[in-house]
Structure 1
Amino acid sequence: MNQLFELLDGENLSRLFAIPKINLTDIIEIIIISFIIYYIMKWIKDTRAWMLFKGIIVLFLVATIASIFNLNTILWIFANTINVGIIAILIVFQPELRRALEQLGRKNFLASIVQFEDQDKGERFSDYTIKSIIKAVFEMSKHKTGALIVIEQEVKLTEYERTGIPVDAIVSNQILMNIFEHNTPLHDGAIIVRNNRIVAATCYLPLSDNMGVSKDLGTRHRAGLGISDVSDSITIIVSEETGGVSIALGGNLIRNVNEEYLENKLKYIQKKSIDVKRFKLWKGRQKNEKNSY
């Protein structure tokens, strides 16, 4: 009883309900930690790691129950396997962890604060390039000519460019249609477009391991999704079976798009590059820029 009275003492109560002093650094830390936790949870839910996360929660509940009821054998097993389990998680989910770090490096908030390379950019490619791509794509769609066109953005695709045959030609609808014509030497594989030029053809792309992809989609669509998983490129896919035109971007596949949709998407990419002045560290975001992904 005396202990209860001591707890109810005015001084102790004032300490218990006192509002802690919060400094500016505390607020900044809370914001940063909240931001990190949010993106970790968002990343976990969009990958196979979500099932792993739910499994970890189940194991945590089992460990809690074992601790409450003094189940020493179970606690001993947990204590001696946790280190091995962490290493196993890192090995099994290495592709997802690598992808998460790549996505972190491509985030716009980094580009809006620090410019890693001094450069002066205008439009990424010309209106002529857009018109040529659209004309070629939908002409091939009419004749059910399969095509895979990868348009490079900020992330360089040199690694995949080396797997193909150098072309270095100005983008035109005639060249695009000729490359993907049946039984021609360059029709198999993907082409990579950088600015206003086709830099390489017959390039090999990584296949997506997304188990949610429809079973009626073939290797061409999986390759388009695969390159969008590891880069910020936009990939245009023409189906050889149906003639349908699809877009792969950011790990997502948008199927059966029309000319207007494709033109709007390419114009968004065209205007997306940021003008950077030399020696300028802090940059404001572009006005009226909308994320249409």
Structure 2
Amino acid sequence: MPFADYFANFTILDYISNIVDVLLVWYVIYKLITVIRGTKAVQLLKGIFVIVIVQSFSGFLGFKTLGWMMEQALTWGFLAVIIIFQPELRRALEQLGRGKLFSKSGIQEEEEQKQIVESIVKAVGYMAKRRIGALISIERETGLSDYIETGISLESNVSSELLINIFIPNTPLHDGAVVIQKNRVAAAACYLPLSESPYISKELGTRHRAALGISEVTDSITIVVSEETGSVSVTKNAELHRDLTMEAFSELLQNEIIHTTKVRQPSSSKWAFRGKNDG
């Protein structure tokens, strides 16, 4: 049947049905990508893409042995995909079972974000008063899974009590960073990359260098509580906002995490290096 004649038999309902079908397929693909984003599964997808390209060129150039190898890799590769993607598949199925595979409503998302901000502010306020050192990194668009794998997996709800207990001195998880991913405490005792910028004051300690380091390679928001002075600092986009009041800290966190809040700049100075060694 000619191409034009095929579409000539379509009714308006058929057109609408096909458009909705395509949109649903793209939406499902998008949600699957968000599930694996920031994980090593992304590298696997790149590997599969390379195999497909090599197989295509092998057939075109007549490389039979190489083409056969690539064909076997694709034929049996689905078993490897199931094994390697196991954590992502499990998480997707869990989200589907809880009705969370598809996006939450704006109100639900905002309420959850408000609860997280309140928990973090309460925990940071408690630790700042008692000079308990802390390092908390919050994932945004850039995945932090590689850094999560360096720590101890928790997969817990965000609460002020949990954050405080993690950073109590001489406990197993206090040394390192807590990473919050997808509104959950993903892991504790994580290692973050230290900034190598020559412009950082030598007065700043390891926590601040780690916070700046992760902000240089990702778009995460990272919070530092100094165990020397109890001061609160935040890094984002390779910028350090130091010695924040609790009001300014709460405002900054709301602006960065709660999507519906109008963005305002907190009253803190960029790259304001001063004071004692802040550990």
Q: TM-score range by the shorter chain?
A: 0.5 to 0.7
Letter of the structure 1 residue corresponding to residue 114 of structure 2? D
* Counterpart among 233, 236, 241 of residue 220 in structure 2: 233
**Match for residue 257 of structure 2 among 270, 289, 292:** 270
**Alpha-carbon RMSD:** 2.1
Cα shift at 1:133: 0.5
Opposite residue 169 of structure 2, the aligned amino acid is H
Q: Which of residues 237, 248, 265 is equivalent to 1:250? A: 237
Q: CA deviation at 1:289?
A: 5.4
Asked whether the 8 Å contact 2:134–2:225 carries over to 1, the reply is: yes
Aligned partner of 1:217 in structure 2 is 204
Q: Could you tell me which amino acid in structure 2 is paired with residue 142 of structure 1?
A: K
| Deviation by residue 1:151-175 (Cα, 9 ceiling, x = unmatched) | 1111110010100000111111111
Deviation at 1:223, TM superposition (A): 0.1
Instruction: Give the alignment partner of residue 163 of structure 1, picking from 150, 156, 180.
Output: 150
Amino acid at match of 1:156: G
Q: Please state whether the residue corresponding to 2:155 is helix, strand or coil.
A: strand
- Return the offset for 1:196: 2.5
1:49-64 mapped onto 2 (5 Å cutoff): none
Runs (5+) with no aligned partner, structure 1: 1-117, 274-287
TM-score of the superposed pair, with normalisation by structure 2: 0.54
Cα deviation for residue 119 of structure 1 reads 7.2
Residue 110 of structure 1 is matched in structure 2 by none
Q: Does 1:203 align with 2:184?
A: no
Aligned residue for 1:176? 163
Residue 261 of structure 1, CA deviation = 1.3
C-alpha contact (below 8 Å) 2:154/2:185 kept by paired residues: yes
Q: Which residue of 1 aligns with 2:140?
A: 153
- In structure 2, what residue type is equivalent to 1:261? A
Give the SS at the match of 1:263.
helix
Question: Where does residue 190 of structure 1 map in the other structure?
Answer: 177
Q: In the aligned structure 2, how far is the partner of 1:213 from the partner of 1:119?
A: 43
- Total equivalences in the alignment: 162
Structure 1 segments of 4+ aligned residues over 3 angstroms from their partners:
118-125, 288-293
> 1:162/1:256 Cα in 2 relative to 1: closer, same or farther (>3 Å)?
same
The answer on whether the counterparts of 2:113 and 2:258 sit within 8 Å (CA) in structure 1 is no
| Greater Rg over alpha carbons, structure | 1
Q: Which amino acid aligns with 1:242?
A: T
The two structures have a TM-score, normalised by structure 1, of: 0.52
Q: Structure 2: 5+ residue runs without aligned partners?
A: 1-100, 267-279
Report the CA distance between 1:127 and its aligned residue: 1.4
CA distance in 2, matches of 1:119, 1:197: 17
Cα distance in 2 for residues equivalent to 1:224 and 1:234? 9
Percent identity at matched positions?
48
Partner residue in 2 for 1:21:
none
